[in-house]
Amino acid sequence: MRRVRAAVAVLVLAGATLGTAASTAGAAPAEGPRAAVACATGWGSGAKGGATMGADHLEDIRTGQHECYDRIVFDVPGGGDRISYHVQYVDRFYVDPSDEYIPVAGGAILDIRVGAWSYDLEAGVPTYPGEVGEALPGVNISGYRTFRDTRFGGTFEGQTQVGLGVRARLPFRVTQLHDRVVVDVAHSWTS
């Protein structure tokens, strides 16, 4: 029964993502520098999770700005379509398993867990250069409308954890693509 529910949830998420893409792809181009942009914000702010197992190794975390949302991307080459994730708002950011508290700036905090190691167990070398409690290396979010802070939480039992500080508790969506997990946080609740 759980597999049926999981399959239905994946199909619903895929349909919602395709519906959003289709509705924005067919929109008329904006005119003028201050033309209003219609932004879908019905993503909600509840916890989101997907996939069934951990994947390979996390190699990069990058961010981007869009008209309607800020985006953080977790690149996991070789992960295919099986990269697990769990994303939820938390009151405080604690590193798993030590329960060490790491301050994250912003009006709200997203605890993001991606099913990928940040180091190669066999070779004993990091595949992602993050340091526990520090800002994400190479990620500059100054000037972003929604993102306020990033903190690396480390890797435990095949899950890499990141604390993402955002301006307020805003709607977000998670999309699992081939070899990456994408988290978009809307700029507002309304378009």
Are 149 and 104 in contact by the 8 Å Cβ rule? The answer is yes
Inform me whether the pLDDT recorded for 177 exceeds 50. Answer: yes
In a domain, 51, yes or no: yes
Burial (CB < 10 A; 0-12, 13-18, 19+), residue 129, is middle
β-bridge pairing 147-156 and 108-114: unpaired
What is the per-residue pLDDT for 131?
96
Ranges 12-16, 44-48, 117-121, most confident: 44-48
Segment 9-31, tens digit of pLDDT: 433 344 444 344 333 333 334 44
Q: What is the DSSP string of 29-93?
A: PP-STT-------TT-SS-EEE-SB--SB--EEEEEE-SSEEEEEEE-TT-TT-B-EEEEEESS-
In a domain, 128, yes or no: yes
What is the per-residue pLDDT for 50?
86
The C-alpha atoms of residue 151 and residue 83 are separated, in whole angstroms, by 21
Structural domain boundaries, residue 74? 2-186
In a domain, 106, yes or no: yes
Mean pLDDT of the 133-160 span:
96
Q: For residue 69, give both structure tokens.
A: 């949302």
The C-alpha atoms of residue 180 and residue 107 are separated, in whole angstroms, by 27
In a domain, 191, yes or no: no
In a domain, 49, yes or no: yes
Question: What CATH number did the domain enclosing 61 receive?
Answer: 2.60.40.3500
Q: For residue 24, give both structure tokens.
A: 């924005």
Amino acid at 134: E
The C-alpha atoms of residue 147 and residue 139 are separated, in whole angstroms, by 11
Mean pLDDT of the 139-162 span:
96
For residue 11, which phi and psi values (nearest 5 degrees)?
A: -65, -40
- Cα–Cα distance list, 3 to 8, 32, 54, 138 (Å): 9, 49, 17, 38
Q: How many domains would you assign to the chain?
A: 1
pLDDT band at 115 (very low <50, low <70, confident <90, very high): very high
Inform me whether the pLDDT recorded for 191 exceeds 80. Answer: no
